[in-house]
Structure 1
């Protein structure tokens, strides 16, 4: 197995075991102690490993059936990039909003820098506005409502 294949496997395992199944021990194993996540939806746009784990725990409580599917994955040197789809049902409190029972499906991109078998950095961008609109938390402006049809 090449290094790029090993790096892809690290990212795929993080998504499968931690993001989708909620196994925090996988995050502890695969995120470097000095891990940094750059995400416009994170408070201040930056998270360390503990903040990322806490955010995912909150997501898993709000969307217990939530799942990220990696649609495409590319690796070169120490970088692994994937395009994915996230789906879930709003069954728990989320950002101060009671459960709506609504489902969502959004797309996103994430790029990870893997070094010595652990993830050192992540740059992520997911369609959170689209998710909030699908859940009925944020209304879709009237002038845009017909565009999706």
Structure 2
């Protein structure tokens, strides 16, 4: 198998936010994610496997109408891509026990993606959870 370039690795990593999250292309799960894929989520739990990830992402997309994940920056070193991603959408469905608010969100997210054998093996998400909860009205904004 030919050695993958950093451009190849970045292209693979970007497909998750750009194709699966933004476009809702769940047909890519099997092609894009390793069978033993693990997502280290921003709420302290790990999601393991393609099916579990698809279920979690569908639930998230059902909560946020018009969701989009915009990759602002990406840096690749070896098999790992660090991405700064802006998340946008409108809270139209239940999310983590919070009933729909109709609020628009715009949240920063850092994603580290490890690619192995041409597939995403692992992702670490560092979401601005406080900012998200403030925008949903679940917590009072700090400093006001």
Q: TM-score w.r.t. structure 2 length? A: 0.89
Q: Distance in 2 between matches of 1:130 and 1:4?
A: 32
Q: 1:33 Cα shift?
A: 0.4
Structure (1 or 2) with the greater strand fraction: 2
| DSSP 3-state at the match of 1:55 | helix
Shift of 1:40: 3.4
More helix by share: 1
- The equivalent of 1:46 in structure 2 is 46
In the TM superposition, what are the counterparts of 1:4-43 in structure 2 within 5 Å?
A: 4-42=6-44
Q: Alpha-carbon deviations, 1:80-108, whole Å to 9, x = none?
A: 11011111111112122221111111111
Show the counterpart of 2:137: 136
| CA-based RMSD | 1.7
Inter-partner Cα distance in structure 1 for 2:101 and 2:13: 31
For 1:130 and 1:21, the matched residues in 2 are separated by 24
Uncovered stretches (5+) of structure 1, i.e. residues with no partner: none
Q: Does the 8 A contact of 2:37 with 2:120 survive in 1?
A: yes
- List aligned pairs for 1:1-149, cutoff 5 A: 3-42=5-44, 45-49=45-49, 50-141=51-142, 144-145=143-144
**Hey, what's the Cα distance between the residues in 2 that align with 1:33 and 1:80?**
19
Give a deviation string over 1:24-50, Cα, whole Å, max 9, x none. Answer: 1112211100111112315xx211133
Q: Give, in whole Å, the separation in 2 of the partners of 1:99 and 1:5.
A: 39
Q: Which runs of 5+ in 2 are unaligned?
A: none
What is the CA-CA distance between 1:2 and the residue it aligns to? 5.5
In 2, Cα distance between the equivalents of 1:112 and 1:7? 9
**How many residue pairs were aligned?**
141
